[in-house]
Amino acid sequence: MKYIGQFTIIITISLMGEILNKLIPLPIPASIYGMIILFTLLSTKLLKLSAVKETGKFLIYIMPIMFVPPTVGLMDSWGIMQEFLIAIITISLLSTIIVLAVSGRITQFIIGLKEKGGDNNAAS
């Protein structure tokens, strides 16, 4: 019963993201709105991590299975994609490198902020 309650919370937050996606005219996916809502609720402690932890772990555990249908769809479209293979590989490599670089910089920035915050607390 605990898992059903946790899953209901996650689905409700996802629904809120879908509603925001329809109301706000920005090209942001509904899942991102949902993640922002979930992050905000967890950060402000309005929602305790224990309220969604086990179901979240389960969803992450089964995530690889969710990639099977799109992969089969790509294999089915191989004939169409063949002529764009070089472009697809180039875009995939470049976007991966950019995401890695930006993620690394943001992580370094956040770690730097935490270290500066820790120094101020130690001096007090």
pLDDT of residue 119: 59
Task: Go through 23-42 and write b for each residue having 16 or more CB atoms within 10 A of its CB, e for each that does not.
Answer: eeeeeeebeebbeebbeebe
Q: Which amino acid is at 11?
A: I
Contact (Cβ atoms closer than 8 angstroms) between residue 31 and residue 17: yes
Classify 29 in phi/psi space as left (phi over 0), alpha (psi -120 to 50) or beta: beta
Q: For the chain, 124 residues long, give each residue's pLDDT as a single digit of tens.
A: 889 999 999 999 999 999 999 999 999 999 999 999 999 999 999 999 999 999 999 999 999 999 899 888 888 888 888 889 999 999 999 999 999 999 999 999 999 998 887 655 544 4
Residue 34: the pLDDT is 96
